[in-house]
Chains A and B, each alone.
Chain A
Amino acid sequence: MTGLQIAFLAIAAVTLASAVLVVSSRKIMHAALWLVLALGGVAALFATLEASFFAAVQVMVYIGAIAILIIFSVMLTRRVMEDAGPQNTRYWPAALVVSLGVFGGIFFLLLQWPGFTIEARPVLEQGDFLVRFGQALVSPDEFVVPFEVASILLVAAMIGAIIIARDPSRK
């Protein structure tokens, strides 16, 4: 059991435990904070996958923006839902069965695949990966179209969210 394997198992255990606490916490504020820990665990896993750019972006975007937004909206909508009542719907056992069934199906399919146990080959060309990534995002015969569409999506989401959440008493 190498050090990297032990590190992976520890990070995966922490992430999965905090994810389970996200979906089963009685108080939603606690669930939002456990979500921060789960997202941090995923960022650590990105680092073990040598995707260092996405480890940093995950912390900045997911933890630093999305999780903060979720905590804001939890605070803005606190008054109505009592944190003492049942937080799950009446049919949560069926949801549990569905989730376990989906996981069982995925696991069964993965076992059929022969590449399941391949190991990581060391990456040969390491130099200026970020330069190639940036060039791929704006190069006309690579990925400029999805990049521009994603930018338009962000602008549309921003304008839409501002209009939707505007104070209705201001006309």
Chain B
Amino acid sequence: MIPLGWYLIFSALLFCVGLFGVLSRKNAIAILMGVELMLNAVNVNLLAFWRYLWASKVDGQVFVAIVLVAAAAEVVVGLGLIISAYRRRNTVVADEMDMLKG
């Protein structure tokens, strides 16, 4: 059987890989991909705790469902913003989008 710690270490590693992607990539879409990795790590963590500690209740799964919905909504809006900013400024490099005035 798999100890709970394996899932927790895995989700911590996935979270830190996503964190590195967010902090170090230039392309705004690559930063969004890092955010998605972090959200998936959180989901793995939540479901691991649900399975090992509260498997008879549904609370953990409702939490994961809400996180999934929030992640989907955030990706949609983020990509809309990136494409709109790309149309105006002709760049997707996050460093170059530093002035609000378009």
A82-B68 Cα distance, complex, nearest whole Å: 33
Cβ < 8 Å to A, chain B residues 1-52: 1-10, 12-21, 23-27, 29-30, 32-34, 36-37, 40, 43-44, 47-48, 50-52
Given contacts A16-B14, A42-B44, A160-B80, contact A4 B2 (CB under 8 A): yes
Residues on B with C-beta less than 8 A from A156 are 73
User: CB distance A157 to B3 under 8 Å?
Assistant: no
User: CB distance B20 to A23 under 8 Å?
Assistant: yes
Within the complex, which residue of A88, A118, A132, A142 is in contact with B3, where a contact is CB–CB below 8 Å? Answer: A118
Residues on A with C-beta less than 8 A from B51 are 49-51, 120
User: CB distance B16 to A115 under 8 Å?
Assistant: no
Given contacts A116-B8, A123-B56, contact A28 B14 (CB under 8 A): no
User: CB distance B2 to A96 under 8 Å?
Assistant: no
Residues on A with C-beta less than 8 A from B93 are 80-81
User: CB distance A136 to B62 under 8 Å?
Assistant: yes
Closest B residue, CB atoms, query A50? B51
Cβ < 8 Å to B, chain A residues 82-115: 86-89, 91-92, 94-96, 98-100, 102-103, 106-107, 110, 115
User: CB distance A31 to B30 under 8 Å?
Assistant: yes
Chain B nearest Cβ from A8, distance in angstroms: 5
A47-B57 Cα distance, complex, nearest whole Å: 18
